[in-house]
Each structure stands twice: as structure tokens, then as C-alpha cells.
Amino acid sequence: MAKYLAVFKVGLLNAFAYRFTIVFFLVMHFLALAVIFFLWLAIFNSPGQAEIAGYSLASIVTYYLGASIVRQAIASHFEYQMASEILRGKLSIYLLKPFSYLFYQMIRSWTWQLLSLILSLALYLAAIILLRDYIIVPSLVQAALFLLALIPGAIIYALVSAIFGTLTFWLLDPNNLFGLKETIIVFLSGFLLPLAFFPPVLQDVFFYLPFRYLISFPVEIFLGRLSGTAIWQGFLVELAWIPLLAIFLSWFWQKGVRHYEAVGS
Amino acid sequence: MRYLKLYGHFVATSFMGEMMYRRGFWLSVLARVAWFLFFVAFYSLLYGQITQIATWGYWDTMLLLATFFLLETILYLLFIKNFSNLPHMIADGDLDLWLIKPVDAQFVLSLRHTSFTSFLNLLPPLFLLVLAFIKLGLSFSWASLGMILAAFVIALIIAYSIWLMIMTLAFWLGRVDVLHEAFLSLFRFLQFPTVIYSGAVLLFLTYVLPIIFIVTIPLASLRGSLTWPNFLLGLSLAVLLFIVSRLFWLFAIRYYSSASS
């Protein structure tokens, strides 16, 4: 445990060294969020438009703000770091050390995510105050379940990142693939558009896929859009994905390491 | 003429460079096409529940989306590799190599690398553009095609000039790896119907950082509503921005004192 605490500390220092990059990304993140708000304000401004696909203007504003916070909290992108370390042969250094490389990457990433979330808290607070007329406040139980749902979400996200990072063992230029993965997640998780806008058949399929549990599930709990049954069944599916992905990852990673050539070292 | 020949060489070497990673090539095409299709799906699902965004119907928005993606792909094709590399070149002092060569540094640093991977990505938005054009019942003539092409060139000059100005800030900001994304994230304001912007935001996008014209001028030309006075106004804006960005660049070069040499 102590050694991973050390990784956490290093990660914190590292993230702090890149504080300008973090602030830069935060500003871009908020610009993208602002555009989405303008879009929905214009849509709801049309006469007779009180509710769309079960969403009022207030619930849609809360949805996107929530989705933005959730993504900031749980999205990990350490596959890029993995790719660079595998392609440059730097991975060898880590393989010799007495800890799990994948675990190391995850903890580093979670440290970074935590820091950027804390840094953005002031901005989110400002956004909430600015949009206070449109924010839906959940009950305590909903808020607690929302927070609880973030933990498996973050783990699933990290496992997927690690699986894609592992693909680097066979690919020379995996960055496009990482971009594709992110695009798919953004669309199928309900980040770009609430899943209620999708055809019912697809919504049924999404229930069993992991994407929904990254963004849509926690935010819909927060908004009180899910019944008690839908929540516990959702948690069940979400929790089932973790061992599934973890087992696949460990098999895939071992296969990759055996394939690894340690270029240039 | 000399610059045209030089550009031919740039294009040829970029092409050879990209052919080395063919698997990466297809993945990159796939990633971009997926992103485009998801945005088409986004608006299709949205318009499944509503009829209009302010005054914009489904095909109005599709025409905008096609125009936006077409312009974005061309910008990627021509400039992305060059501009994303610029802060490194300034911070590491690699810029010196180009400053002492008998060619214009701005020309080389803007156009050295062409991203051929983007070439195929032009097709899906082009297809959507034609489809939306037909669905909206817009009239076509060869004369209007000339106007449309001119409008797209004006849009690209405006985009290039603003992007260059933002990138030139790297001379003072130092190593900012993600600086090229600053322009792109502002540019992405334009993949949404421009009618959603009002008040201070609209003023900002029109007068402070006039990026809104990058889509409004081509869209007006497609709809056949681009009058000659407006066309000339757009052209003047493009020329003016190009000159300002050029002057800013030259000013920055004079300020630049190289790194570690």
C-alpha cells in the first residue's frame, strides 16, 4: 500500500508541474459546455416547447452540467502515456520494479483526475450559481447513490483505457484508435445527448453495455429519473463488467508483455 | 512560382512520410468518419423530438454541419501538423534553421507538412453538403459554383489568419503543447447553428474574434444569398486579417531571440 501512496505523491507533483496545461484544458472544457447550453436554451426558447423526450430545460441543464462533472471525475486517458512508454522501450524499467505497472498508471491517472476536479470546482461553482434557476437539487439518497455510482464508473473507464493502452504492443501508431474509443464513449455514454433521445430498442441494448454506466447512469440517478429497480439492476450490470474487463485485461496484458520487444533498450 | 514548386516538394515528402504507417492511416480515417457520423446522428436524434432550433430546420443544420466538417477537414489537411509543431520549434530553437534559409519562414512553417490522412475525410461531408443542398431546394448554376468556391477560400483565409495569430502567441507563452487546440475549440462553436448565439457571445464572435464568418460566408454563398457588397466585405475582412496576422508574425520573429544557442 505504501508504495502506491508514493505513486500518488509523485502523480500529484507531476500534475502540479503541468498546472497550466490543466487550466488550459479546463477552459476548453467549459467553452464546450457553454456551447451546449446555448444550443438548448435556443431549443427551449421556441414557443410551446416545455418538455423534450421527458426533459425540461432545468433537467437538461442539470444533466449536461452533471455529465461534465462526471466525465471530469472518472475519465482516464493514461493510454497515451502507456503507448509512449511501450513504444520507446521505457516500459522495461517499470517491469523490473516490484509493483504492477497497470496499477501504477491507474493511480497516477486518478491523482491527476482528482487534482483537475479540485481545480475546476471553483468554475463549476460559478456555473451552478450562474445557472441556479435551472439546477435541480436531488434528495440526499439520490446524491449518495450518484456518488456511489461514480466509483465503478471510474474503474470501468480505467480498465478500458488500460485495454486500449495494451493494444500498443501490436500497433505502431495507436493514437487514432484512442481517439476513436473516446468518440464512441462520448456518444454511447449519453455525454453528447441524453439516452432518452435514442430509439427504445437501442436503450434496451445500452442497458447491458458498459458505456451508459460511465455518464448517463449516475446523472440520471442524480436527476431522479430512475426507479429503485432500475437503479439496483443498473448497479448489478455495472459491477458485473468490472471482473469481466479486469480478467480480459490481465490476460491481454500478459500476452502483450510476451510480445514486447523493448525497442532501444 | 518558386514557392509553388517548393510546395510541390512539401506535398510529395509528406505523402511518402504518411505511406510508412498505412494501418494508422485507415484508423485515422475511421476515427474522423465516426466523429462526423455521430454528429449527424446527434442532430438526427435531436430533430426526431423537435422541429426547429430557433428558425433552423433539420436540413439547414445539416448544411451547416457539412460546411463545418468540410472546412475543418481542409484546415486539418493543410495546417494541423505544422501548427501543432510550432510551439516545440520555438521552444527548442529548431525555428532558427528555417529563419536562415532563403525562403519565407511563415510559408514553410505553415505548409511544410500535409496530412493526407484527411483527404478521404473530405468525402462524407461533401456528400452531405450536396444532399442538404438538394433537400433544401437551392438553385445551382456554374456561376454560383464560382461564388461558392470563392466563399470557401475566403473562409479558409480567415480561419488560417486567426489560427496563425493564436499560434504566434507561442513566442511569448513558451512551450504550450496544446496551443493549436485553442483555435480549434473556438472553431467548434461553429458546428452548432449560429442562430443560438446572441448578446455578448455573438458580439465577441463577430467583432473581437470574427470566427463566425468562417461559416456564415460559405453558407450564404450556398444559399445564393451572398450579395456582391457582402462578398467584397468578406474578402476585405480576409485580406485585412491576413495582413494583420502577417505583421504580428513578423513582429514576433523580430522579438524572437532563439533558444539555447
User: Is residue A265 over pLDDT 60?
Assistant: no
**Looking at residues A37-66, what average pLDDT do you find?**
89
CA distance A222 to B162: 41
CA distance B117 to A171: 17
Q: Which alpha helices (DSSP H) does A131-227 contain, by range?
A: 140-166, 175-188, 200-208, 216-222
Average pLDDT, chain A: 88
Q: What is the dihedral of CA A81, A86, A92, A93, to 10 degrees?
A: -20
Average pLDDT, chain B: 88
Tens of pLDDT, residues B34-54:
999 999 999 999 999 998 898
SS3 A124: helix
The Cβ of residue A55 has, within 10 Å, a number of other Cβ atoms equal to 20
- Residue A59: band (very low, low, confident or very high) from pLDDT cuts 50, 70, 90: very high
pLDDT for position B64:
96
> Which residues lie below 8 Å from residue B136, measured CB to CB, with a gap of 6+?
B59, B60, B63, B223
**Looking at residues A29-45, what average pLDDT do you find?**
88
Closest to A9 measured CA to CA, from A132, A114, A133: A114
Q: Lowest mean pLDDT of A14-18, A197-201, A231-235, B45-49, name the range.
A: A14-18
Q: Which of A46-50, A243-247, B137-141 has the highest mean pLDDT?
A: A243-247
pLDDT for position A260:
79
**Looking at residues A82-95, what average pLDDT do you find?**
85
Name the minimum distance, in Å, from the CA of B55 to any CA of chain A. Answer: 9
Q: What single-letter amino acid sits at B102?
A: P
Which three three-digit cell numbers place residue A113? 483526475
The DSSP string of A149-167 is HHHHHHHHHHHHHHHHHHG
CA distance A97 to A8: 16
SS3 A204: helix
User: Is residue A23 over pLDDT 80?
Assistant: no
Contact A183 B189 (CB under 8 A): no
Name the minimum distance, in Å, from the CA of B35 to any CA of chain A. Answer: 6
Nearest residue of B to residue A181, measured between CA atoms: B31
Q: Lowest mean pLDDT of A82-86, A106-110, B4-8, B25-29, name the range.
A: B25-29
Name the minimum distance, in Å, from the CA of A231 to any CA of chain B. Answer: 25
Interhelix angle for A79-87 vs A140-166, to 10°?
Answer: 20
Residues in chain A within 8 Å Cβ distance of B28: 176
Q: Lowest mean pLDDT of B21-30, B53-62, B101-110, B246-255, name the range.
A: B21-30
* Phi and psi torsions of A215, nearest 5°: -120, -60
pLDDT for position B261:
47
**Looking at residues A21-33, what average pLDDT do you find?**
80
**How many alpha carbons fall within 13 Å on the CB side of residue A194?**
25
Which three three-digit cell numbers place residue B240? 485585412
Contact B50 A39 (CB under 8 A): no
Contact A180 B30 (CB under 8 A): yes
Tens of pLDDT, residues A142-167:
999 999 999 999 999 999 999 999 99
Tens of pLDDT, residues A100-111:
889 889 998 998
Contact A38 B186 (CB under 8 A): no
Name the minimum distance, in Å, from the CA of B111 to any CA of chain A. Answer: 22
Contact A192 B38 (CB under 8 A): yes
**Looking at residues B71-78, what average pLDDT do you find?**
93
The CA-based angle B197-B200-B206, given to 5 degrees, is 70
The Cβ of residue B143 has, within 10 Å, a number of other Cβ atoms equal to 8
CA distance A28 to A22: 10
User: Is residue A15 over pLDDT 70?
Assistant: no
Nearest residue of A to residue B192, measured between CA atoms: A39
Residues in chain B within 8 Å Cβ distance of A171: 23-24
Contact A24 B176 (CB under 8 A): yes
**Looking at residues B197-210, what average pLDDT do you find?**
89
CA distance A192 to A215: 10
Contact A186 B45 (CB under 8 A): no
Residues in chain B within 8 Å Cβ distance of A42: 53-54, 193, 195-196
pLDDT for position B148:
94
Contact B50 A52 (CB under 8 A): yes
pLDDT for position A173:
78
Of residues B239 and B101, more confidence is placed in B239
Residues in chain A within 8 Å Cβ distance of B24: 171-173, 176
Model's pTM, two decimal places? Answer: 0.88
Contact B195 A41 (CB under 8 A): no
Name the minimum distance, in Å, from the CA of B185 to any CA of chain A. Answer: 6
Of residues B18 and B68, more confidence is placed in B68
Contact A38 B46 (CB under 8 A): no
SS3 A55: strand
